[in-house]
Structures are given as structure tokens and as C-alpha cells.
Amino acid sequence: MNSTKNSWLALIPVGMGLFMVLLDASVLRVALPKITQDFHATMSDVQWISNSYTLTMVSLLVLAGRIGDIVRRDKYFISAMAIFTISSFLCAQAWNVPSLIVFRALQAVGGAMLSSNVLAIITELFPPGQRGTAMGLNSVMTASSFTLGPIIGGWLTTNLSWHWVFYLNVPVGIISILLASTLLPPLEPKEKVPIDVSGAIMLGIFLALVTLGITNGRVWGWWSRKTIACFLVSIPYIVAFIERELSVDYPILDLSLFRVKNFSVSILAISILFFGLSASLFVLPYFLQGIKMLTAEESGYWMVSIPLLNTIFAPLAGRLSDKINPKYLMCLGPLFFALSLHYLTNVSIDVTYWTFFIELIPMGIGMGLLMSPSYNVIMNSVPREKVGMANGTVRSINTLSQAMGVAVGGVLIANRMDELTGLGSFLPDPGTMNLLKIMAKNNPLPFISLVNGFVDSMHYVFSLVVWLPILSSLIIFLFID
């Protein structure tokens, strides 16, 4: 597409689709208690409603990205939107837990196809030197979905029903498909080669097992047989995968990409940051909804400064990354993250909305300064015929980093809570906190102990992870060209 104006118009359906997929995960978390109640679901059922989506998504991202390099990417995007839209409708129509689990897995197929090709589509629509601003779209959608999910999910679940969490995707998906059919130009395949099915299966099993072990480790116990088995059984698959990819003519993941310094270093730096961010932000909903007793919808409003500032700075940083060396913006971004985490190490129970809003502002700025330049560097550093492969790899690694961050954050705060209170590895959910507050009229000590112990534990987690953004910034400064 020669016209820049037409390229921007083409990004409208792409942005809608990306936002819909990213929003889905955070929206569902709010609806899960109501789904549990309606289906009389067990804790295991709830885990698998989430796990079916996460495991399917992670195991397919690299394969989905690679397929995008081999087929017409515009038709591939439309197909992904169709699968995601139809499966969303089916999720809303689910009649029991097993049907919802199956439909969520189908939804993840469309989500993997879509999210593993967004950066690749941007790379094809815009030439080098014009991609940075467009890359800001990805950062804006990521940050916005994180905070808007609880707000939208809370409103829909409270005022309509949990079914509307999925019904919402249907009109958005249909509009996105119609716009994509009209606005997306023909994006012809860059390579017409066979798909390494065996390699895809090996990598998919490895990623699924590792993700399962990470996400369920806190529930099963980190030293339980099931958790250890997930990690041990995954090892032969990754070894076999690496051996195959080094010898096969058309690999599903070209390992030589990791020899490209800007590609591998950028992924490493972003992964460290996402790990630290997930480990710390994991605890904020418990603080806002458990300790401060806000609703999920209200807690979303309390964190709205992150997407708000990111929306301002991501396009600006993206545009600047086309004009100056992106490494300087990438170095600066994590330092803003560290500043927010430093503020949060002293956050009090009585913190006001506007104080909390201001303390999260550097995080929104940091996300804007880091993400769009980083994606610009990553996609500019790989051959054009492998941008889908690179896109899928980035998304897969980032998803694993976030899952690991949540798991480690949970372990850190739970262990610290047990040390300080002796009440076990307890996290303050709103229902239990409300009950304890009522009981505190007769004996306030358990309630006070739990609140103070959690806040001290939260400060402890923030004080540990504050160094990870600084490490990320240092890696970028030393190793990015």
C-alpha cells in the first residue's frame, strides 16, 4: 500500500481486533466468580476455564506467526477474527463448565492467529522509518486492555450478566471483519514453504507444560509431583525441538534470529521488565479490592493513569524512534517503571485516589517510552519474510514472562505474609475481608494483623522487583546498537 493515509486506515480493524483479544483475558477475571456461581463450579473448574485459553494461546503463538509468513496475511487476519468472534458467541452460549472450557480453547486459536500477526502487519504496511508511531498502537492497546478490562467486565457482569463479557466481542468482531475486508490491502505471502509440523508439536508441548507448571504451581505446591512433572517432562521436548530446528530445512522457529543482537537483547530486556511488572502488579488488585474494599470496576479506575499516560507517550516515543536511536528511549522507559515501584514501596492503607493516580503516572510513561521503540527495533532487525515468526516468538516469550512474574509475585507475598502473621499463605480476597471486618467488632486483632501483614508484604515485593527495571535499562544501554 503506497498511501500512508490508507495504511493508517488499514490499522483500524487491526487495532480493534488486537484490543478485543487482549481485553478478553482481563475482562474474564472479573466475571469468573459469577460463572462459578451459575455453574456451581469447583476451584479446579475455574482454573481450567482460564488455563484452556492460556495454554492453547501460548502453545500456538509461534506456529500461528509462522503460518502468517506463508499465507496471505490479510485473509489470515480476517480468518482469525472470524474464529475469535464465533467462539466468543459460543462461550456466551455455554451450558456448563466443559463446554465453556472447549469454547475458550477455540477462542484462543483465533487469539493466537491474530495477536501473533499484528506487528507483522504493521511491518508490511509501513516502511522502515515510519513504523514507530504505528508500533505505538500495540503498546496503547496492551496497556488499555489491562486497566479497562476490570472496568468493562465489572459493569457488564453487574448490570447485565457474565454472558455479555463474551457477547461484547461479537459486534466488535463483525465490524472489524467488514473493515478489514475493505481497508486491508492484499498482503501476499513472503515465503511459500512447508510448515514444520513436528517442530510445532514439540514446541507447543514444551510451552504448554511449562505454562501449566507456572500457572498452577502455587495451587498444586511448587514441590508437588504434578508441578515438578510439568517441568521435567518438558525438557526432552525443548531439547528435541532445538535439535530439529538446527537441522530441518524450513524451521518453525529459525534459531539464527537469536544471533541478531538487537532482536535477542530487546526480547530479554522486555521479558525482565514484564516479569518484574507482573510480579508487582499481581498484588495491587488484592490491595485495592481486599484491603481498600473497592469493587473490581472501581479498582480499574484507580489504575487508569497507566493506560492514560501510555496512550499519550507511546505514539510520541514511536515517532521519535524513527528519527533517533531507539535505545535511548528504551533505556529511559524502565527507569520510569522503577520510579513508580519506588513510590509503591511506601503506599499506605489510607492512600487517596489522586495520590495513587500520581504514583502510577511514571509507569504509564515508562510503558509508552519502552514498548513501541522496542517493537520497532525487534521487527526492523529480522528479515521481512520472517516477521510473523518473530512476532509469534515475542508474544510467546512475553506471555511466559508475565505468567512467571505472577507466580513468583504470589510466592513472595504469600511466604512473607506467613512469616509476618503466622496465618499461612493467605491473600485478602474481598469476601473474606468483609467477613473479617464484621468479626472485628468483637475481636479486631486478626483483621488488623492481616491488613498490616499484607501491606508490609506488598512493600517487600515492590522493594525486591524495583531493581528489575533498572537491570533491564542497563542491558539495553550496554548491548543494543
Task: Tell which phi-psi region holds residue 40, choosing left (phi > 0), alpha (psi between -120 and 50) or beta.
Answer: left
Q: Would you place residue 381 in the very low, low, confident or very high pLDDT band (cuts 50, 70, 90)?
A: confident
Q: Is the pLDDT of residue 107 over 60?
A: yes
Average pLDDT over residues 72-99: 92
The whole-number pLDDT of residue 447 equals: 67
Q: Give CA 112 to chain center in angstroms.
A: 12
SS3 111: helix
The pLDDT score that the predictor gives to residue 50 is 77
**So what's the pLDDT on residue 187?**
79
Q: Is 187 left (phi over 0), alpha (psi -120 to 50) or beta?
A: beta
Q: Kindly state the percentage of the chain with pLDDT values over 70.
A: 91
Domain ranges of the chain: 1-192, 196-249, 256-481
What are 275-315's pLDDT values in tens digits? 888 888 778 877 887 788 887 778 778 888 888 888 888 88
pLDDT of residue 418: 73
- For domain 256-481, give the CATH superfamily: MFS general substrate transporter like domains (1.20.1250.20)
For the 1-192 domain, the top CATH level (class) is: mainly alpha
As a whole number of angstroms, the distance between CA 417 and CA 466 comes to 19
Domains 1-192 and 256-481 share a fold: yes
Cell of 323: 528519527
Question: And the C-alpha cell for 383?
Answer: 528479515
Determine the length of the chain. 481
Residue type, 404: M
**Residue of 382, 302, 303 lying closest to 131 (CA atoms):** 382
**Residue 351, SS3 per DSSP:** coil
Distance in angstroms (rounded) separating the CA atoms of residues 104 and 49: 7
Most confident segment among 162-166, 250-254, 415-419, 424-428: 162-166
Lowest mean pLDDT among 41-55, 319-333, 438-452: 438-452
Q: Which stretch of 160-169, 368-377, 409-418 has the lowest confidence by average pLDDT?
A: 409-418
Cα gap 10→134, rounded to integer Å: 11
pLDDT at 1: 42
The predicted-structure confidence for 181-224, as pLDDT tens digits, reads as follows 998 888 777 777 788 888 888 988 988 888 888 877 777 888 88
Type of residue at 462: F
Q: How confident is the model at residue 174 (pLDDT cuts 50, 70, 90)?
A: very high
Task: Mark out the alpha helices in 195-286 (DSSP H runs).
Answer: 197-220, 225-247, 261-281, 284-285
Residue 355 has pLDDT above 80, yes or no: yes
DSSP 8-state class, residue 256: G
Q: If you average pLDDT over each of 20-24, 62-66, 123-127, 400-404, which comes out highest? A: 62-66
Q: What is the mean pLDDT of residues 89-95?
A: 92
Inform me whether the pLDDT recorded for 18 exceeds 70: yes
Mean pLDDT of the chain: 83
Residue 471, pLDDT > 90, answer yes
Residue 157 or residue 213, greater confidence: 213
Instruction: Please state the rounded mean pLDDT for residues 36-55.
Output: 76
The residue that leads in pLDDT, 439 or 345, is: 345
Asked if 314 and 372 touch (Cβ cutoff 8 Å), the reply is: yes
Predicted TM-score (pTM) of this structure: 0.83
Asked whether 137 and 11 are in contact (CB, 8 A), the reply is yes
State whether residue 429 is helix, strand or coil.
coil
| 3-state DSSP helix/strand/coil % of the chain, to nearest 5 | 80, 0, 20
Q: What is the predicted pLDDT for the residue at 431?
A: 61
> 438, exposed or middle or buried, with CB in 10 Å at 0-12, 13-18, 19+?
exposed
> Would the pLDDT of 239 be above 90?
yes
Average pLDDT over residues 404-422: 77
Amino acid type, 130: Q
pLDDT at 88: 93
